[in-house]
Amino acid sequence: MLTKETLARLLEKTQQIAKEVGSFIRKERQHFDVEKVEHKGFNDLVSYVDKEAERMIVERLSSILPEAGFITEEGTNQTLGEKYNWIIDPLDGTTNFIHGIPVFSVSIALMEEQEVIMGVVYEVNRHECFYALKGSGAFCNDTRIHVSGAYNLSASLISTGFPYYNFELIDRYLNSMKALMQKTHGLRRLGSAAVDLCYVATGRTEGFFEYNLNSYDVAAGVIIVQEAGGKVTDFSGGEDYIFGRNVVASNGAIHAEFLGVLDEFWGKS
């Protein structure tokens, strides 16, 4: 088992890696050629920037914790470790990146067996590095962060994601968004789940929900929310939010009310 001191050093090095890769992404955006975009599936986009960023991350993380395995979006290394695994999204918000919309991030989490114990999310455009270590609080650029104190949905701003290739559940999305629009300060769709979660952690929004996500979309952001005093569940209120493909995050105070609204439309999901 890694000691607290070892984990603290790993966290510092992981932040450095995220910032270094973020700098690479930012520079590539300045002269990015849209013609180089590839399609993994309908509306599922990837570029050489995603792939190179992931290669850089895997190479550097391998050197600081050789015994750890990897769960990666672009498949650079999918060898699982016996006890530790890095969960990586090298460019969360690829569609935003391609279109020049400035909300995209580098997301890196470390899982010990089935529990995420470290998370780093670097928002490339605002130079904001969010990070957390289990039991040590959550931070943004060395300043401790906390979820907001809003106590009900009527005082809350909510973020979400829209389906972009599987539209079978689109009516549930639209109906749940319609209900939330009438009960909150509004809804936002930023385009990076990792950033959405960090904005809950820092109190910019009070809640976030999305369906059909992958572990690399949420792993780092989840522990940052939790260490900032927030609450994270799946849509049913359970704990299958890393690999269960859906997540609800909040400041905690609104969580039961938030789940109650979603349950009207997702209770049979």
- The pLDDT of residue 1: 81
- The pLDDT of residue 111: 97
Residue with tokens 């290739």: 165
Looking from the CA of 191 toward its CB, the CA atoms found within 13 Å total 16
pLDDT beneath 50: ranges in the chain: 43
- The pLDDT of residue 38: 72
CATH of domain 153-266: 3.40.190.80
- Which helix (DSSP H) or strand (DSSP E) does residue 263 occupy? helix 255-266
- The pLDDT of residue 265: 93
- The pLDDT of residue 46: 65
4-144 CATH choice from 3.30.56.10, 1.10.274.100, 3.30.540.10, 3.30.450.20: 3.30.540.10
Per CATH, 4-144 and 153-266 having the same topology is answered no
- The pLDDT of residue 222: 98
- The pLDDT of residue 77: 75
CB 202 within 8 A of CB 228: yes
- The pLDDT of residue 35: 67
Listed by start position, the domains of the chain span 4-144, 153-266
At position 185, the amino acid (one-letter code) is: H
pLDDT in tens, 93-133: 999 999 999 999 999 999 999 999 999 999 999 999 999 99
Which residues have C-beta within 8 Å of that of residue 254, sequence separation ≥ 6?
150, 151, 152, 153, 156, 206, 207
